[in-house]
Amino acid sequence: MRSSNRRPEPPKPSGPPVEVVIETIGGEGDGVAPGPIYVPFTLPGETVRATGGGERRELDAVLVASPDRVTPPCPHFGVCGGCALQHWDHRAYLDWKVDRLRKTLALQRIETELLAPFAAPPASRRRVALHARPGSRGQARLGYKGRKSWDVIDISVCPIADPKIEAALPALRRLAAPLLQHPKSAPTLHVTVTSEGLDIEITGVERKSGGGLSADARMQLGQIASEVDFARVTMDGEVQYGARQPLVRVGPAIVALPAGAFLQAVPAAEAAMAAFAVAQADGAERIADLYCGVGTFTFRLAQIAPVYAADGHAPAIRALSSAIATAPGLKGITAETRDLARRPVLAVEFKKIDTVLFDPPRAGALEQTAEIAASSVSKVIGVSCNPATFARDARVLIDAGFSLDRVLPVDQFLWSPHVELVGVFTR
């Protein structure tokens, strides 16, 4: 039985199969042939036969394979929309990501030193978002959305995920079943590995016409969570089941994780980015950590100098403030809930701060960057999950007299087209 949540897909253009030579990889991970014609699961230098019509085709056969082609490790690859590049040799794949970052910076006329990238290994993601849809006989299908589809691929394994998450897939599928009582519900289970067990935040359960879950469904949710020993289950931030407070180590501190709070997806990537940032901030006298979240960089920077930390998410700031007591020996942390897009830290407020770190969402930090540019700050460390908005913001700093000295590329989202970075600016 197909879910009523599935949206109708537009008819796909068709035409005779064509043979093309792939020249490069596009921004979504598809191979690009002259035309342009985009063909998924192809590599530079390959001759392939593609079906369909228009710019975006489907791969029918690889006629001449690249020497960089490898066997994908996941049985769901090609159907699941979670990964795009499992078929590419790791070194060539990383080189492409670094080159893509270089070209993105070049669009803003920026040249800098790109360091050797950090690469997250398989089985390292501590955070995943799993979608649930109705299956047969009252069961739930659980997994990632299909490639270019609103349907959900029911997964049995996930080679990017922490083994604790992969082992819990049957239990998570059970937990999802009571969430599907309303036909308009499209639940997503945001699963995080913590030291106290799995923490699950649920979104997408219909509330408007049905008033949310019934009392029976809530009882089932708690019973299943207890049976499989999850640490906590919340729905839109409200606790549905709580056996233990989920805790995560953030540098020298232990943080009680708020429901739905942002956390770096791979602990090793967090540690690599933080170590790089701390090394660049060495010698600072006073630091500002903007868009600080639960303190990913704050606690580590506070081992160097006093830190002013700001973020717009009040629960994250409360968690950060409470965790200060778990990390003795810090130089001092002052934390504030502040919407940095609507109320950025002004240039005059940076008067006693010599180093600023900012880690904004994908939209970047244009308003805040303008204030940093107008300040007397001597060093800026920019962390970004979106090279395009980072490059835009970097241009503002460079035009104000900063130079972008070096960038650490970070491949945190393995086998995806996404690349992250940490960049260091000095006046």
Percent of the chain at pLDDT exceeding 70: 96
pLDDT in tens, 341-384: 999 999 999 999 999 999 999 999 999 999 999 999 999 999 99
| Whether 276 and 380 share a structural domain | yes
Final residue before a domain boundary, out of 182, 212, 247: 247
Total domains present in the chain: 3
pLDDT computed for residue 4 by the predictor: 41
Name residues whose C-beta falls within 8 Å of residue 271's C-beta, 6 or more positions apart in sequence. Answer: none
pLDDT computed for residue 132 by the predictor: 96
| Whether 229 and 339 share a structural domain | no
| Whether 135 and 114 share a structural domain | no
Q: What is the CATH classification number for the domain harbouring 411? A: 3.40.50.150
| Whether 211 and 174 share a structural domain | yes
Which residues are known binding-site members for S-adenosyl-L-methionine? Answer: 264, 291, 311, 359
Return d(Cα 243, Cα 82) in angstroms, integer. 31
Name residues whose C-beta falls within 8 Å of residue 11's C-beta, 6 or more positions apart in sequence. Answer: none
| Whether 298 and 407 share a structural domain | yes
| Whether 43 and 184 share a structural domain | no
**Within a domain: 257:** no
Quote the strand ranges of 34-187, DSSP E.
37-39, 47-51, 58-64, 113-114, 118-119, 127-134, 140-145, 152-154
| Whether 271 and 412 share a structural domain | yes
pLDDT computed for residue 130 by the predictor: 97
pLDDT computed for residue 298 by the predictor: 98
Bigger pLDDT: 334 vs 212:
334
pLDDT computed for residue 286 by the predictor: 98
pLDDT in tens, 109-161: 999 999 999 999 999 999 999 999 998 877 899 999 998 788 899 999 999 99
Range of the domain at 215: 127-247
Per-residue pLDDT band for 16 (boundaries 50, 70, 90) equals: confident
pLDDT computed for residue 7 by the predictor: 47
Q: Are 376 and 351 in contact (CB under 8 A)?
A: yes
| Whether 196 and 134 share a structural domain | yes
pLDDT at 6 over 90: no
| Whether 29 and 112 share a structural domain | no
Bigger pLDDT: 150 vs 331:
331
Q: Using DSSP, how many helices (H) and how many strands (E) does the chain show?
A: 9, 24
**Within a domain: 85:** no
| Whether 104 and 25 share a structural domain | no
| Whether 291 and 356 share a structural domain | yes
Final residue before a domain boundary, out of 68, 83, 107: 68
| Burial of 16: CB neighbours in 10 Å, binned 0-12, 13-18, 19+ | exposed
| Whether 276 and 404 share a structural domain | yes
**Within a domain: 43:** yes
Per-residue pLDDT band for 192 (boundaries 50, 70, 90) equals: very high
**Within a domain: 73:** no
In whole angstroms, how far apart are CA 414 and each of 16, 80, 119? Answer: 34, 14, 8
pLDDT in tens, 73-111: 999 999 999 999 999 999 999 999 999 999 999 999 999
The 10 Å CB-count burial string (b at 16+, else e) for 210-225 is: eebbeeebeebbbebb
Return d(Cα 379, Cα 372) in angstroms, integer. 10
**Within a domain: 396:** yes
pLDDT computed for residue 371 by the predictor: 98
**Within a domain: 194:** yes
Residue 137 CB coordination number (10 Å) = 6
Q: Which of 113, 145, 189 is nearest to 7 (CA)?
A: 145
Final residue before a domain boundary, out of 247, 277, 300: 247
pLDDT computed for residue 246 by the predictor: 98
| Burial of 46: CB neighbours in 10 Å, binned 0-12, 13-18, 19+ | buried
**Within a domain: 80:** no
**Within a domain: 317:** yes
Per-residue pLDDT band for 3 (boundaries 50, 70, 90) equals: very low
| Residue 385 annotated as catalytic | yes
Q: What is the CATH classification number for the domain harbouring 186? A: 2.40.50.1070
